[in-house]
């Protein structure tokens, strides 16, 4: 033990984060390097931990819709969707089919914006700024649609408990279809770029490989897993909401390297485009919301799973019959994928680290829970889960 | 009288203020072309000037643990090196201020002084990103220096002189070296990109990996001076290559046209490529760059013999 | 005397001009939901291209003039925020982007949230919205720069030292 | 394996107009559904306070001057609002709207973020009774 400690201290540690240009969010990674080669990697999370799960117990069912939406600004709709779906099942309320279709429509638009965002950031990490600029330029067409449709570019607040807030008019339908055509053309181009550009492939092909066994063992989710050949997609495995009516095909690649992750995400976009067209052309008629959604929800518990752009989002919701949830538990995909970065990092060049990191499309805001991963000295002011929980309990006890 | 002339040439033209100012304008042009190729508007023409003035008037923080003398003096050495180099090249199409046999070698090494100072500055800062940055900067220096110099020697051999003014006189009266020695031209161009740490050879200051590389800890004045040095290096490098490979620079108009043309090519190359890892950069230089130039030399020698 | 006076005036004008035309940003997320962060990034991309206003996103606090903060301040990121602020060379400015950076927004009252940015470091401009549109972010930045240009009073005192929560 | 696959985009951009909007110099209209600053109509309000109860950010306070006469004042905290429009959904009497024009809300101090809505006489009374913020907007 002692021996290991002293060895560790002699290593040259390169920290990435919490404030670092490669990370738009504060995560903290430490890579032990030998020259340029990474020999060890650790992560420290928790900079963005806000205590949402505990906070949710002090807010009513309506307020929580917006709180969970702000777990993350990139897949905000997915969180509200998952939560609303759970609460509606708990309250045994049937959401009108048109509302379901609109929810899925927004979810797919969000997937496009999220994948394009990731694509640009990944290109930026690779030092290919032109690709970053062009992909973000094209992403703006989707942002325009989302803003025109929902009224905000990021936290759309499309949902209310029991339905959605707005309708899709004919005019929207037209602009969305046009934008989707444009995006499809561009996506084809980008797919061509990432699979043929020799310079780019040098940074992606064969880098950060996670094979099928590793993917299973590490419990990777979402496109990252599908790039390693894991056939796992909630939209296909357990269709929910309007996905029952509008099924989606799963995109799987087997190489498991960074290139495969690019290919899976870009190919998924084509499925999204197809689905959006299908929904718009076969939009069910009917109401947008149920007449009255109960303010108190009868006791019970429910789980709700939805496929976010980065993988499965999982909610557990328990009610004790009051105006507020008794427990809300969120499990997000990046949390599950984080371990894979650390496993893949060892043996790669330091210069590959940002690429490896973005390979899983990480975003910390949803996975910042009090995970304690101690460094060699153990002198960080770390908040363990237990300490946080105790603090949370004390905090609210004091308030009452 | 001569002393006054010397001071003028050192401080104003063709060294000093002129090179600094021209360097800033070329830097703007570079950014502007890149911005336009990315379908956006890009910076205004006075942007680099505003940046430089702002940095010069900002507080300069000397971090703990550095050698303060080195910290302050390294940027000056870098800039002085670049400005001295400017005296030996046909700046703005005019005759170099000084000239002696073998000044080509001196010029190239004066330019390297900048990279060397940056490397030392990074090592001095004792901060992790700076250290990695400086290691990378020096590794890269080691990698491109030889091919770049060899590529510049191609025209020198053809002209049979190692004196810049004589080589230029030779290239002005002959077919463009770019056509006679295409390999040398390409290597020199890419060597210049490596020297200036432009993408795709910007791993010494790769923002997404090591923040700002060796200069991470520099603020205010030091950063500004390094910045000015980079600008000077850009314009000197462009001048050298146009003078050697693109039919010389006989007057200011030709100078402007040719260097700007070359800059546009550089900018386009920058916007088309993905950053190379440092091991890829070094590998590429030694495996292809150096060998290609040797091949070029061989061709020159054979042609001259025949 | 008069000449030095005039000279100083000119020098001041040049300084202010350079400062206003070359705001280099550094961005720190002290607990946000990413929403504001991606909108800040979007202001740099072709549609909004903040570079035409001289804006550049810097990685090192030593190179930056304006600290752009997003999100409420969580317990763990408080020290970091303070440290980044301290590392920046003078003159420095702070912009709080998004409702949670200004007031805590949807997260006010959560146990791990200390509060908003100006409880930790002084803030010079506030941009409400959740998140503000990129145009609104540019608008906020322009308002800050205008204030610097006209020399309008911007908050510069430090907030009172926080009670140590833990 | 190709090199320079972005060539057509890069070269094409030189002939195209930049995609950049001229924002601070030219203002483009926001979409009509945009959720900007909140606006409140005191005439329809019944004082049920559902809006403030459901607000996730505690951004609305309904101050009762006289319940029978339906005289209320709304204190709106622009800096807390998350622009989520739940209040619009919760209000059964459509008193609340969100402006698609007022979205340039940035300021160099927090003072303009406190907004009080209401009829003039109500505001005057509320101001006398409670200490309200400086910025007062009358309908
Ligand atoms: S993985 Fe989490 S944070 Fe990331 S986009 Fe999805 S829900 Fe949001
Ligand atoms: S949170 Fe519960 S379900 Fe999830 S891994 Fe832990 S014990 Fe299992
Ligand atoms: S993974 Fe988390 S931080 Fe990232 S976008 Fe999703 S919710 Fe946000
Ligand atoms: S881990 Fe994330 S979702 Fe859970 S309480 Fe913390 S910030 Fe909220
Ligand atoms: S935190 Fe718990 S569930 Fe997660 S890896 Fe550790 S022991 Fe397993
Ligand atoms: S203001 Fe809104 S969008 Fe911005 S970080 Fe806070 S919750 Fe997210
Ligand atoms: S828009 Fe949302 S946050 Fe703003 S006042 Fe209404 S309910 Fe509250
Ligand atoms: S919900 Fe409507 S009627 Fe009720 S207090 Fe609010 S604004 Fe007035």
So where are chain B's domains? 2-305
User: What is the structure's pLDDT at B15?
Assistant: 61
Query: Cβ of D34 under 8 Å from any chain A Cβ?
Result: yes
Residue A260 above 80 pLDDT? Answer: yes
Tens-digit pLDDT profile for residues C99-116: 888 888 888 777 777 778
B273 interaction partners in chain A (CB closer than 8 Å): 128, 199
Least Cα separation, residue B49 to chain C (angstroms): 8
Secondary structure (3-state) at A296: coil
Domains of chain A: 2-48+337-399 (3.30.390), 52-331 (1.10.645.10)
Q: Indicate whether A154 pLDDT > 70.
A: yes
Q: Which two tokens stand for residue B23?
A: 């360097």
The lowest-confidence range among B46-50, D14-18, D129-133 is: D129-133
Retrieve residue A160's tokens: 């209310």
Selection from D23, B207, A139, A50 nearest residue C70 by Cα: A50
Torsion, CA B17, CA B18, CA B24, CA B30, rounded to 10: -160
Q: Which of D2, D33, D54 sits opposite A166 (nearest CB)?
A: D33
CB contact (8 A) between residue C147 and residue D108: yes
Is the pLDDT at D43 greater than 80? The verdict is: yes
Q: What is the mean pLDDT of residues A336-353?
A: 75
Q: What is the full DSSP assignment across B185-220?
A: HHHHHHHHHHHTT-TTS-GGG-HHHHTTGGGTT--H
Check whether D18 has a pLDDT greater than 70: yes
Alpha-carbon radius of gyration of chain B: 19
Q: How many CA atoms lie within 13 A of C85 on its CB side?
A: 23
Which strand (E) or helix (H) includes residue A329? strand A325-331
How many helices, marked H, and strands, marked E, lie in chain B? 14, 0
Q: Under a CB-based contact definition with an 8 Å cutoff, are residues D63 and D120 in contact?
A: no
Triad A108, A354, A234: Cα angle to 5°: 30
User: Quick check: C143 pLDDT over 80?
Assistant: yes
d(CA A154, CA C99): 13
Contact B231, B23 (CB under 8 A): yes
Q: What is the CA radius of gyration of chain D?
A: 22
Residue closest to B291 by CA, chosen among B150, B177, B133:
B150
Question: What mean pLDDT, rounded, does chain C reach?
Answer: 79
pLDDT tens, residue by residue, A320-334 = 888 888 888 888 887
Cβ atoms of D45 and C159 closer than 8 Å: no
Those residues with Cβ within 8 angstroms of residue D17's Cβ, 6 or more apart along the chain or in another chain? none
Q: Quote the mean pLDDT of chain A.
A: 78
What is the Cα–Cα distance from B268 to B255, expressed in whole angstroms? Answer: 20
Q: Please give the Cα distance from A18 to A26 (Å, whole number).
A: 4
Q: Where are the alpha helices (DSSP H) in chain A?
A: 2-10, 52-56, 61-69, 76-90, 97-125, 129-150, 170-196, 198-204, 212-218, 222-226, 234-237, 258-281, 333-345, 353-359, 385-399
Residues B249 and B255: beta-carbon distance below 8 Å: yes
Which residues of C sit within 8 Å Cβ distance of A?
Answer: 26-39, 41-42, 45-47, 57-59, 61, 71-72, 74-77, 79-80, 84, 100, 105-107, 109-113, 130-131, 133-134
User: Residue B298: which of B148, B190, B150, B186 has the closest Cα?
Assistant: B150
With a CB cutoff of 8 Å and minimum separation 6, the contacts of A316 are A301, A302, A303, A327, A328, A329
The number of folded domains in chain C is 1
Beta strands C24-29 and C66-70 are parallel
A139 vs A133: CA distance, rounded Å? 10
CA distance C32 to A25: 8
Ordered strands of the A28-34 beta sheet? A12-16, A28-34, A37-44
| Whole-angstrom distance, CA of residue B102 vs CA of residue B90 | 15
Residue A15's pLDDT band (boundaries 50, 70, 90)? low
Question: Which are the contacts of B109, defined by CB distance < 8 A and separation ≥ 6?
Answer: none
Ligand 8 neighbours by CB, cut-off 6 Å: D 45-51, 62, 90-91, 93, 95-96
d(CA A203, CA A193): 13
| pTM score, whole prediction | 0.82
* Residue A11 CB contacts under 8 Å (≥ 6 apart), including other chains: A32, A33, A34, A39, A40
| DSSP symbols for A197-237 | BHHHHHHHTTSS---HHHHHHHT--HHHHHTTT----HHHH
| pLDDT tens per residue, range C35-87 | 888 888 888 888 888 888 888 888 778 888 888 888 888 777 777 788 888 88
List chain B residues with pLDDT less than 50: 1
Q: Does D83 touch chain A (CB under 8 A)?
A: yes
Burial pattern B148-166, b for ≥16 Cβ within 10 A else e, equals bbbbbbbbbbbbebbbbbb
**Total residues belonging to chain B:** 306
Q: Which domains does chain D carry? A: 34-138 (3.30.70.3270)
Report residues whose beta carbon is within 6 angstroms of any ligand 6 atom: A 70, 73, 154-155; C 32-33, 35-36, 70-71, 98-100, 105-106, 130-131; D 82
Distance separating alpha carbons of residues B165 and B18, to the nearest angstrom: 20
Q: Is the CB of D52 under 6 A from ligand 7?
A: no
Residue C146: inside a domain: no
Other beta carbons within 10 Å of B253: 11
Q: What is the mean pLDDT of residues A48-52?
A: 74
Q: Regarding beta strands D60-66 and D96-98, do their DSSP bridges make them parallel or antiparallel, or are they unpaired? A: unpaired
The Å distance, Cα A357 to ligand 1 centre, comes to 15
**Ligand 1 contacts CB of residue A333 (under 6 A):** yes
Rounded to whole angstroms, how far apart are CA atoms A252 and A271? 12
């Amino acid at each position: 033990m002692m021996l290991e400690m002293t060895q560790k201290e002699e290593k040259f540690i390169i920290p990435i984060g919490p404030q670092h240009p490669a990370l738009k969010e504060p995560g903290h990674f430490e890579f032990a390097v030998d020259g340029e080669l990474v020999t060890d990697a650790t992560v420290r999370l928790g900079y963005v931990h806000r205590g949402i799960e505990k906070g949710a117990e002090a807010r009513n069912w309506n307020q929580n819709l917006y709180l969970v939406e702000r777990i993350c600004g990139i897949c905000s709709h997915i969180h509200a969707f998952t939560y609303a779906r759970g609460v509606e099942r708990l309250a045994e309320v049937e959401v009108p089919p048109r509302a379901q279709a609109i929810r899925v429509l927004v979810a797919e638009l969000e997937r496009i914006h999220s994948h394009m965002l990731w694509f640009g950031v990944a290109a930026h990490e690779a030092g290919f700024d032109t690709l970053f600029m062009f992909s973000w330029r094209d992403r703006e067409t989707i942002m325009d649609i989302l803003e025109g449709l929902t009224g905000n570019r990021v936290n759309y607040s499309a949902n209310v408990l029991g339905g959605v807030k707005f309708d899709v008019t004919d005019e929207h339908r037209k602009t969305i279809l046009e934008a989707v055509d444009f995006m499809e053309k561009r996506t084809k181009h980008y797919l061509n770029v990432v699979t043929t550009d020799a310079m780019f492939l040098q940074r992606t092909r064969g880098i950060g490989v996670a094979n099928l066994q590793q993917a299973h063992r590490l419990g990777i989710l979402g496109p990252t897993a599908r790039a390693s050949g894991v056939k796992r997609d909630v939209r296909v495995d357990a269709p929910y909401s309007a996905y029952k009516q509008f099924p989606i095909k799963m995109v799987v690649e087997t190489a498991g390297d960074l290139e495969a992750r690019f290919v899976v995400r870009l190919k998924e976009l084509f499925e999204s485009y197809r689905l959006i067209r299908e929904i718009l052309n076969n939009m069910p008629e009917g109401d947008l919301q149920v007449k009255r959604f109960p303010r108190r929800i009868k006791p019970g518990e429910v789980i709700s799973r939805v496929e976010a752009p980065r993988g499965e989002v999982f909610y557990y919701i328990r009610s004790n019959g009051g105006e507020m949830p008794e427990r809300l538990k969120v499990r997000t995909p990046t949390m599950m994928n984080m371990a894979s970065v650390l496993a893949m990092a060892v043996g790669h060049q330091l210069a590959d680290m940002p690429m490896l990191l973005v390979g899983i499309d990480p975003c910390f805001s949803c996975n910042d829970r009090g995970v304690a991963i101690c460094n060699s000295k153990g002198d960080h002011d770390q908040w363990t889960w237990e300490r946080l929980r105790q603090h949370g309990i004390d905090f609210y006890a004091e308030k009452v | 009288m001569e002393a006054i002339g010397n001071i003028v040439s050192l401080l104003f033209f063709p060294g000093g203020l002129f090179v600094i100012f021209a360097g800033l304008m070329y830097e703007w042009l570079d950014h502007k072309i890149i911005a336009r190729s990315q379908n956006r508007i890009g910076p205004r023409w006075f942007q680099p000037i505003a940046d430089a003035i702002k940095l010069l008037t900002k507080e300069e923080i000397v971090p703990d643990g550095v050698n303060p003398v080195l910290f302050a003096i390294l940027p000056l050495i870098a800039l002085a090196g670049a400005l001295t180099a400017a005296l030996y090249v046909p700046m703005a199409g005019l005759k170099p201020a000084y000239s002696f046999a073998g000044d080509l070698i001196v010029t190239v090494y004066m330019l390297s002084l900048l990279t060397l100072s940056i490397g030392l500055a990074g090592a001095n800062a004792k901060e992790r990103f700076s250290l990695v940055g400086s290691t990378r900067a020096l590794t890269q220096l080691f990698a491109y220096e030889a091919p770049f110099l060899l590529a510049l020697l191609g025209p020198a051999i053809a002209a049979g002189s190692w004196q810049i003014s004589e080589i230029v006189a030779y290239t002005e009266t002959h077919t463009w070296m770019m056509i006679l020695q295409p390999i040398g031209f390409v290597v020199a161009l890419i060597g210049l990109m490596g020297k200036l740490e432009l993408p795709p050879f910007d791993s010494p200051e790769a923002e997404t990996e090591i923040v700002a590389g060796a200069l991470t800890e520099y603020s205010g004045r030091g950063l500004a001076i390094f910045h000015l040095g980079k600008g000077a290096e850009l314009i000197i490098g462009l001048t050298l290559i146009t003078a050697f490979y693109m039919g010389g620079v006989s007057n200011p108009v030709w100078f402007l046209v040719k260097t700007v043309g070359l800059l546009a090519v550089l900018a386009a190359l920058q916007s088309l490529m993905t950053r190379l890892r440092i091991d890829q950069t070094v590998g590429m230089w030694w495996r292809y760059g150096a060998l290609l130039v040797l091949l070029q030399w061989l061709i020159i020698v054979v042609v001259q013999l025949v | 005397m008069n000449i030095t006076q005039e000279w100083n005036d000119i020098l001041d004008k040049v300084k202010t001009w350079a400062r206003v035309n070359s705001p280099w940003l550094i961005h720190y997320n002290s607990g946000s939901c990413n929403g504001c962060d991606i909108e800040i990034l979007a202001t740099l991309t072709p549609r909004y291209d903040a570079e035409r206003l001289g804006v550049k996103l810097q990685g090192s606090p030593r190179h930056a003039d304006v600290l752009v903060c997003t999100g409420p301040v969580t317990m763990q990121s408080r020290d970091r925020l303070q440290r980044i602020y301290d590392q920046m060379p003078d003159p420095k400015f702070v912009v709080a982007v998004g409702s949670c950076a200004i007031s805590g927004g949807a997260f006010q009252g959560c146990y791990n949230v200390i509060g908003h940015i100006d409880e930790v470091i002084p803030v010079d401009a506030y941009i409400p919205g959740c998140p503000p549109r990129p145009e609104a972010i540019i608008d906020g930045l322009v308002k800050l720069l205008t204030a610097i240009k006209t020399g309008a009073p911007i908050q510069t005192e430090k907030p009172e030292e926080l009670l140590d929560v833990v | 394996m190709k090199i320079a696959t972005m060539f057509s985009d890069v070269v094409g951009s030189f002939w195209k107009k930049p995609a950049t909007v001229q924002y601070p110099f030219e203002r483009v209209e926001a979409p009509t559904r945009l959720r900007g600053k909140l606006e409140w109509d005191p005439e329809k309000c019944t004082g049920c306070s559902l809006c403030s109860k459901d607000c996730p950010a505690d951004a609305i306070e309904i101050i009762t001057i006289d319940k029978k006469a339906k005289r209320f004042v709304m204190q709106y905290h622009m800096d807390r609002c998350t622009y989520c429009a739940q209040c619009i959904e919760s209000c059964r009497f459509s008193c609340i709207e969100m402006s698609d024009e007022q979205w340039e809300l940035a300021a160099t101090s927090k003072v303009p973020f406190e907004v009080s809505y209401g009829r003039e006489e109500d505001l005057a009374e509320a101001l006398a009774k409670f200490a309200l913020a400086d910025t007062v907007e009358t309908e």
